[in-house]
Amino acid sequence: MLYVLLLAVILSWFVHLGLPQVWMPNESFYADASKNMLHTGNFITPYYNGEPRLEKPPMTYWIISLGYYLFGINEFGLRFFHAVLGLLTGFITFLLAQEELKNLKVSLLSALILLSSFQFFANSRYASPEIPFTFFITLSLYLWLKAYKKDSVFLMILAFFSSSLAMMTKGPAGFVIPAGVVFFHLLLENPKELLKKRYYLLTLLFVPIGLWWHFYEFFVHKEEFLKVFYQENLSRIHKGTDPYYFYILDTLISFMPYSFLVFFAFFWSFFKVKRELSFFLIWFLLVFTAFSIIKSKIPVYVLPAYPAMSVLTASFLLSSDLRRIKIASSIFLTVLLSLTLVVAVFYFDLSKLFLLLAFVPLLTLPSSYILSPLVGGIAFILFVNTGLVGYLEKFRHYREVGNYIKTLDPKGSLKVYELGYFHHNLPFYADRKVIRNKMPEGQAVVIFKLGAYQSCQPMKVWKLYTSSESRFLVFLLDTKRGKRFDNFGICIYN
């Protein structure tokens, strides 16, 4: 049955991958800047909406640019390689579990838990640095583990190189996370290994390779780069109001369908002193603890811990311990997923055929309580991809607005302004710079919230969302309640 579920997950990975328009705001930055890289040939400094975007190194933009090159500048090309890297992270998680546990069933379930976890799955269909970053860190740790066991300098070099690619994706954390996991693992298992010169020589070689872009941008943009670097890497440590237990609560949703079972798995493996799981325990604890201490918290920050969390959970589920807890938890999670799907179908008035998906995991319960949450998670993922996403697209008119701008000004000779709110994906769809919150000068195309601009009459009007779509659940509920939507018109100002 595990192989059937794995096939179902892989197939669902690409269902409607290119259907959603570019999400606001974060995906918009990468969609537009990567397109500009292809247009200009400048693959070092990303430019979003005509301005340099120095928040993240260029690896994510390169990955997207390759997708554009192969599949065209569209939503499928934007997300294709993120989906591929997500699947590859699942494969490496399988290899890691197999390397340490030598148990095929646990290894397969580990990969399935990762690939079906809601946060990981959603980000694998969303163009941002999170999945490439998680992939390179997971690959680095796998290569190091193989190098350590075989005493292979070549594999060690590849491990450090993968860490450099992680730095090229999100900065110094790409080295700190895998180095921290390796350090604490060796400190407990084999402290003498830490005395080997290769670790320090390779650090001196590969950290500058991973940070070359940072040095380049410092010399080119100086104070502007330092300001952004501080905000992205240092200020988050001490600025923020989220509680230390933020990620514990977030995991209850983000790590569905197995949710809180990961915490049972952690305590089970910790108190049972499962030596074969020590590497994954340290990995999980380091990432979770470090980002819990940091004041600024975002759910995706702990994604690099998800492979370790998946292995711990799979090991716990397939053990013979705490059977009653596992049965009760699995029944609860399965029923919860099915009920949520049923409620969503009726609340958003979707096709009642989706109700069939709600009954599949319930039918699995009698034969396999361990896998029933997984079946429920896959069913829910399919429901979101084929039902909810299509529903949401009825409220997202950005491509239509962009095409209308091109119709009004096919040569791109006029400046484009947006007043009253700034929709971050319009530069991508209009294929030009959109000036935000400045009064038009000379002849121009103007997009404006009705009532915010009186100098011309709208030629066409759309109802557009005026908040972050990244808060997916809030956005979803807002579409039903009509909150945070406003009418926007477009005109040519003379």
Per-residue pLDDT of the chain (494 residues; tens, 9 = 90+): 788 888 888 888 899 999 999 999 999 999 999 999 999 999 999 999 999 999 999 999 999 999 999 999 999 999 999 999 999 999 999 999 999 999 999 999 999 999 999 999 999 999 999 999 999 999 999 999 999 999 999 999 999 999 999 999 999 999 999 999 999 999 999 999 999 999 999 999 999 999 999 999 999 999 999 999 888 887 888 888 889 999 999 999 999 999 999 999 999 999 887 789 999 999 999 999 999 999 889 999 999 999 999 999 999 999 999 999 999 999 999 999 999 999 999 999 999 999 999 999 999 988 889 999 999 999 999 999 999 999 999 999 999 999 999 999 999 999 999 999 999 999 999 999 999 989 998 899 999 999 989 889 999 999 999 999 999 999 999 999 999 999 999 999 98
Is 32:427 a contact under the CB 8 Å cutoff?
Answer: yes
Q: What is the pLDDT of residue 155?
A: 98
Q: What is the pLDDT of residue 355?
A: 96
pTM: 0.96
Q: What is the pLDDT of residue 239?
A: 83
Q: What is the pLDDT of residue 13?
A: 87
- Measured in whole angstroms, the distance separating CA 476 from the mean position of its chain's CA atoms is 18
Q: Number of C-alpha atoms within 13 angstroms, CB side, residue 27?
A: 24
Domains of the chain, by residue range, sit at 2-316, 341-393, 398-493
Q: Residue 203 — φ and ψ, nearest 5°?
A: -65, -45
- Label residues 377-396 b or e (16+ Cβ within 10 Å = b): bbbbbbbbbbbbeebbeebb
Q: What is the pLDDT of residue 105?
A: 96
Q: What is the pLDDT of residue 119?
A: 97
Alpha-carbon distance values, 378 to 283, 338, 344, 475 (Å): 26, 11, 16, 22
- Hey, what are 140's tokens? 């680095």
Is 70:80 a contact under the CB 8 Å cutoff?
Answer: yes
